[in-house]
A and B are shown apart, each in its own frame.
Chain A
Amino acid sequence: MADFLTRHTKDPAQKKLDTARGRGAYEGFRRALAMSRQEVVAEIDASGLRGRGGAGFPTGRKWSFIHAKEGQSVYLLCNADESEPGTFKDHHLMTFDPHLVLEGVAVGAYAIGAHRAYIYLRGEYASIAETLAAALREATAAGIIGQSCLGSGYDLSVGLQLGAGAYICGEETGLIQSLEGKRAYPRVRPPFPAVHGFLREPTVVNNVETLACAARIMAEGAEAFARLGTRQSAGTKLISVSGAVERPGVYEVEMGYPLMQFLSHEAGGISGGRRLKAIIPGGTSVPVLTAEEAAPLTIDYESMLSAGTMLGSGGMIVFGDGTSMPHALLRIAEFYAHESCGECTPCREGTGWMAWVLRRLLAGEGSPGDLGLLLRVGDNIEGRTICGLGDASVQPVRSFIRKFRQEFEALAPLPVAFPAWQLHGHGPRTGRFGPPVEEAAQSQPVEGPPDYVL
């Protein structure tokens, strides 16, 4: 296990400013303040840090895109929406080391020349927002954040905003819209947030873990971070593992750490002495891996990519044998159908249809062409939407069907009289999500989980 970020998260006293400072909290910020903005950006760039929110975009590069014109204000937004199913690492970090997160926000804000930053938390994290608010009060009273941070002459204020229950607020432009008091409808890009973000001003959106890494990099130097991990994946990664493992939880590992070793050591092995069936390595938005595919992989961007999946958020969901993959997929597909914001048609309609076709397959009412139909609907979503949720919704559907085909084929009934499209026609829609109202009402919900126990 690595401890670049989580060195002190085991100690409840770490939440207190005195304790945290005794261990070097805000020294990274102090060092940054003694440097020019450009030097801080260069240092983060040299460290090789890539975004931990899912896409893995190089953080130093993202920061270097900010070029404020005369009279413009720059904003840093810390993305603490964390709603990707299976992901709870930011929850852990903010709860146990709130000052590290605040320090990261301060470093990021200074580096891009922002004097106002926000931490946007999902609505369910209200108790965590209180932890952060308490830490912020302490840091403000101590002169670390506020006017002339640490006596440097640099001013920074930090706002906390809670969401109110919508996955799409984690998408960076959805987050901006929500912060502006609007529906979180993502924005068409370009223009990118670096040019037109919050209040149409230059804005950077970074994940909680990314900013925490930046704080530690400023404290320890780029070299200390770059030394960890692999060539393309510097540093460490927080993995939140859940599902069929003995010790679910948040673990920090050095990038390049063997996946199977992680499962057996950190996660304590597959629960109930069962065998591994499948793993989703980075939240439900990335393709699933079979046990065979997962066996040789290591935890880093390039290894996951070589297997056709992604490290994503590091939200690892483990499936033991006996799990019904079609049922699992239906639950995931329903999530996307529910969370599609409805702004663009392929995603709004497609996610609803994918869930609906899966539901009828599982209810024993499917048609022979349904698997093909699911894949086709997916193809018609991918690459045709405003934000990444549409693409994300296709990854589980496609990968589950291709990799666990037999389980899905076992559900498909023998040929019946009419093809699917005629059966469900183009009748009235709900206005959101695919299926006609009356038929959706008639279709029976699938009875509880099938015959497996975790």
Chain B
Amino acid sequence: MLTSEGLEEIEATRAEEPSARHALLTALRVTQRERHKVGPEEIEYIAGLLGLSPAIVEGVARFYDQITASPTGQHIVRVCGGITCYLSQSDRVAQDLKGFLGIADGEETSPDGEFTVRLVECIGDCDHAPAGMLDDRFVGPLDERALRTISER
């Protein structure tokens, strides 16, 4: 289910920490990165890998916003909807970006499964409002140029 690289990362954390439970957050992050979701199958898998009950894995997974039950696109664009970015009209930016990427109203992911656009809370980059991230990279301010760059990826 996971790449050997991903498995190594989880294993390394587990080896360093006092118990398997401590590697759970890392396991969830790695799985989300590689599978773009942590649904029932992934939960079973992680539970087996770490020797934890699936209920525990699911309980933790559903607490964190970046771990999603349904699949996201290959790339995820986070548009900040925090107070500063909201005041610079970031919700319109998110709308424009969805238009660029052909994401229908009410949807988050493009039909080809390439991009998910999500409005999120403050991402800690408010001096670049309207701020945004392309996967793990800060790409704000989301002006027209930044939007093009994202859509051309």
Q: Which residues of A contact B (CB under 8 A)?
A: 82-88, 90-91, 122-127, 159, 161-167, 178-184, 199, 240-244, 248-250, 284, 315, 317, 319, 323, 328, 331-332, 335, 338-339, 341, 448-449, 452-454
Contacts and interface: CB of A to CB of B under 8 A. Distances in A.
B25 A178 contact: yes
Nearest to B66: A165
Which 6 residue pairs spanning A and B have beta carbons closest together? Answer: A165-B65, A164-B64, A242-B126, A165-B66, A181-B24, A248-B127
A91 B124 CA distance: 7
Contacts of A125: 124
B142 to A, nearest CB: 14
Interface string B12-52: 00001110011111101100100000000000000000000
B75 to A, nearest CB: 14
A180 B22 contact: yes
Contact of A83 (B84, B122, B127, B129): B122
Contacts of B16: 159
Interface string B47-69: 00000000000011001111100
5 contacts: A83-B124, A88-B124, A88-B127, A163-B64, A332-B83
B138 to A, nearest CB: 7
B84 A127 contact: no
Contacts of B127: 88, 240-242, 248-250
A178 B22 CA distance: 9
A126 B129 CA distance: 20
A317 B83 contact: yes
A87 B83 CA distance: 11
A248 B129 contact: yes
A215 B89 CA distance: 40
A335 B24 contact: no
B83 A86 contact: yes
Nearest to A445: B91
Contact of B59 (A183, A250, A323): A183
Given A179-B22, A243-B84, A164 B28 contact: yes
**How many residues of B sit at the interface, in one of the four size bands?**
35 or more
A122 B124 contact: yes
A410 B88 CA distance: 24
A124 B136 CA distance: 7
B87 A181 contact: no
Nearest to A166: B64
Contacts of A178: 25
A161 B29 CA distance: 11
A319 B87 CA distance: 9
Contact of A339 (B89, B121, B136): B121
Contacts of A164: 25, 28-29, 32, 64-67
Given A88-B125, A248-B127, A250-B127, A124 B133 contact: yes
A449 B91 contact: yes
Contacts of B82: 85-86, 331, 335
A331 B28 CA distance: 29
A183 B60 contact: yes
Given A85-B82, A86-B84, A86-B122, A127 B137 contact: yes
A86 B131 CA distance: 12
Contact of A181 (B22, B120, B124): B22
B92 interface: yes
Contacts of A165: 64-67, 120
Nearest to A127: B136
A417 B122 CA distance: 39
B123 interface: yes
A243 B87 contact: yes
Nearest to B87: A454
Contacts of A181: 21-25, 60
Contact of A184 (B18, B23, B63, B125): B63
B80 to A, nearest CB: 10
Nearest to B136: A126
Contacts of A127: 136-138
A418 B129 CA distance: 42
A161 B24 CA distance: 11
A339 B24 CA distance: 21
A244 B138 CA distance: 21
Between A88, A122, A126, A178, the greatest number of chain B beta carbons within 10 A of the residue's beta carbon is seen for A88
Nearest to A244: B87
Given A162-B25, A448-B92, A449-B87, 8 more contacts: A83-B122, A88-B124, A90-B124, A162-B26, A180-B21, A242-B129, A248-B127, A317-B126
Between A126, A244, A328, the greatest number of chain B beta carbons within 10 A of the residue's beta carbon is seen for A126
B29 A123 contact: yes
B98 interface: no
B83 A85 contact: yes
Contacts of A249: 127
Nearest to B25: A181
B65 A454 contact: no
B83 A284 contact: yes
Contacts of B137: 127
Contacts of A244: 87
B63 A323 contact: no
B3 to A, nearest CB: 17
Nearest to B62: A183
Contact of B124 (A82, A183, A241, A332): A82
A162 B29 contact: yes
Contacts of A179: 22
A454 B23 CA distance: 44
Contacts of B26: 161-162
